[in-house]
Structure 1
Amino acid sequence: MRNHELVLSWIEVELAAGRLAVGQRLPGERAVAEQLNVSRASAREGIRVLEAMGVVRAGVGSGPGSGTVITANPAVAIGAALRFHVASSHLPVEDIVQTRLLLETWAVGQARATAPSMAVAADLLEKMDHPGLAAGEFLRLDALFHVALAEAAGNVLIGAMMSSLRGSIESYTLELTSRLPDWNRTAERLRSEHRAIFQAIAAGNDDAEPAGDARSPGPDASTLIADHIAGFYREAGL
C-alpha cells in the first residue's frame, strides 16, 4: 500500500468507528503524518485525494473556515469520474441517458410531495419561466429541477447519482440544442412537461394528465418523465 493510501485507509476506519464525523476538522498534515509514520507530502497527497473524492473540504488561512473539514459529498467523486470517462468516450452518452431513465422513473415514482426538495423544484419551475432565458441557463435550471425531483424520493445515493449523471453530460446536452429545429418551441414544451411531472408528484402520482398535448398522455409521474427525457433526445436526433 502506498503511503497516501494509508491516509485514505485511516480516514475510512476513523469515520466507520465514529471517531470522526461530518463537520469535524481533520488533524493537520504534520499530525496525520506523525500518527501514520509517513511523510508530510504523503499526508498532503492523501488529503488532496479525499478532497477530490468529496470527502473533505480544505480551507485556507487561519479563520473559522480554515483547516480540512469532513463534508461527505459523494456526488463530487462520482461526477468527476463520469465526466472523464465520457470525455474519453469510454462511457457512451446513450448509456448514460438510459441510466438516467432507469433512475429518474424510479425516483419520481417514489417521490414524496412533502419532501423539502419539492419546494426547490417549484422555485426552479418559476425561474425557468423567465422570458428571454438563454439555453445554457435554462438547461442548468432544468438539471437542478431533475435532481430536486430525484432527491424527493429520499434516497441519498440516488440523489447523488442523479446529480453526477446530469453534470457529466451538461456540455453535451447544451450542444444538442443546436440540433433542435426551434429551441424556443422546445423550451416551452419542456416547461409544460416539467409542470405536469411536478403536479403528478404533488397529487401523489395518481392519474396525472400532462399539461398540453405535445406529448402522449401518461398515467403517473414515472411515465411522464420517461416520455419527457426520451422526447428531448429523440427530437435532438439521439
Structure 2
Amino acid sequence: MRNHQVVSAWLEQELAAGRLAIGSRLPGERTMAEQLKISRASVREGTRVLEALGVVRAGVGSGPLAGTVVTGNPALALDSALRLHVASTHLPIRDIVETRLLLETWAAAHASPDSPSLERAARLLDEMDQHDDGPAGFLERDALFHVALAEAAGNVLVGAMMGSLRGSIEDYTRRLTAGLPDWTATSERLRREHRAVLGAVLAGQGGRAADLVRDHIEGFYRESGVSA
C-alpha cells in the first residue's frame, strides 16, 4: 500500500467505526503523520486525493473554516471519472443510455410526488419554455431536470449517480443534436414529454411515469441514430 493510500484506509476505518462522520474535522497534518507513521507529505498527498474524490474539504488559514472536514459528495468524483472515460470512448454512448434507462425508469417509478426536487424540475421546464437559447441551454436544463427526477425517488446513491452522469449526458447529447434534422421540432416534442413525465409523477402514477421516461430517452436516441 502506498503511503498516501494509508490515509484513505485510515479514514475508511474511522468512518466505519463511527469515530468520524460527515462534518467531522480531521486531526492536524502532524498528528496524522505521527499516528499513521508516514511523512507529512504523504498525509498531504492523501488528503488531496480524498478532496478530489469529494470525501473531504480542505480549508486554509484559521478560524471555523480551517482544517480538513469530512464531506459527502460522491458525485464529484464520479462526474470527473465518467466524463474522462466518455471522452476517451472507454464508455460507449450505448452503455450510458442503458445505464440511464436502468436508473431513470426505477427512479420515476419510485419518485415521491411530495419531493421538493420536483419543484426544481418544474422550474426547469418553465425556463425551457421561457428561454430560447438553442440546444446548449436546453440540454443543460434537460440534464438537470432528469437529475431532479432521480432525486425525487429518495435514494441517495441513485441521485448521486445521476448527478455524476449529468455532465456526460449534457456533453454527448449536445454532440448528437448536430445530426438531428429539425431541432425545433425535436425540442418541442421533448418539452411535451417532460411535462407528461412530471405530471405522471405528481399524480402518483409511478408505472406510467417509468414508461414515459423510457419512451422519452429511447425516442431521443433513436432520432439521433443511437440504438438503445
After superposing the two structures, state which structure 1 stretch, 13-22 or 25-34, moved more: 25-34
1:30 is aligned to 30
1:120-159 aligned within 5 A: 120-159=120-159
Change (3 A) 1:8 1:64: same
1:43-62 aligned within 5 A: 43-62=43-62
2:78 is aligned to 78
- The offset of 1:93, in angstroms, is 1.1
Q: Distance in 1 between matches of 2:92 and 2:131?
A: 34
Any idea what SS the aligned residue of 1:38 has? coil
2:8 is aligned to 8
Q: Percent identity?
A: 65
1:45-194 aligned within 5 A: 45-194=45-194
Any idea what SS the aligned residue of 1:62 has? coil
- The offset of 1:201, in angstroms, is 0.4
Highest relative contact order (Cα 8 Å, sep 6+), 1 or 2? 2
Question: If the length of structure 2 is used for normalisation, what is the TM-score?
Answer: 0.93
8 A Cα contact 2:143 2:169, kept in partner = no
Any idea what SS the aligned residue of 1:129 has? helix
Q: Which runs of 5+ in 1 are unaligned?
A: 207-218
After superposing the two structures, state which structure 1 stretch, 42-51 or 178-187, moved more: 178-187
1:197 is aligned to 197
- The offset of 1:35, in angstroms, is 1.5
Q: Which runs of 5+ in 2 are unaligned?
A: none
After superposing the two structures, state which structure 1 stretch, 153-162 or 79-88, moved more: 79-88
Q: Distance in 2 between matches of 1:128 and 1:200?
A: 19
Higher share in helix: 2
Q: Distance in 2 between matches of 1:15 and 1:24?
A: 10
Change (3 A) 1:136 1:64: farther
- The offset of 1:53, in angstroms, is 1.3
Q: 1:224 aligns with which of 212, 215, 222?
A: 212
For the aligned residue pairs, the C-alpha RMSD in angstroms reads: 1.5
- The offset of 1:62, in angstroms, is 2.7
Corresponding letter in the other structure for 2:118? M
Corresponding letter in the other structure for 2:211? T
Q: Distance in 1 between matches of 2:167 and 2:214?
A: 19
Q: Distance in 2 between matches of 1:45 and 1:76?
A: 18
Q: Distance in 2 between matches of 1:29 and 1:168?
A: 36
- The offset of 1:24, in angstroms, is 2.0
After superposing the two structures, state which structure 1 stretch, 57-66 or 169-178, moved more: 57-66
Corresponding letter in the other structure for 1:127? E
Q: Distance in 1 between matches of 2:143 and 2:66?
A: 32
Corresponding letter in the other structure for 1:68? T
After superposing the two structures, state which structure 1 stretch, 162-171 or 118-127, moved more: 162-171
Corresponding letter in the other structure for 1:230? E
Question: If the length of structure 1 is used for normalisation, what is the TM-score?
Answer: 0.89
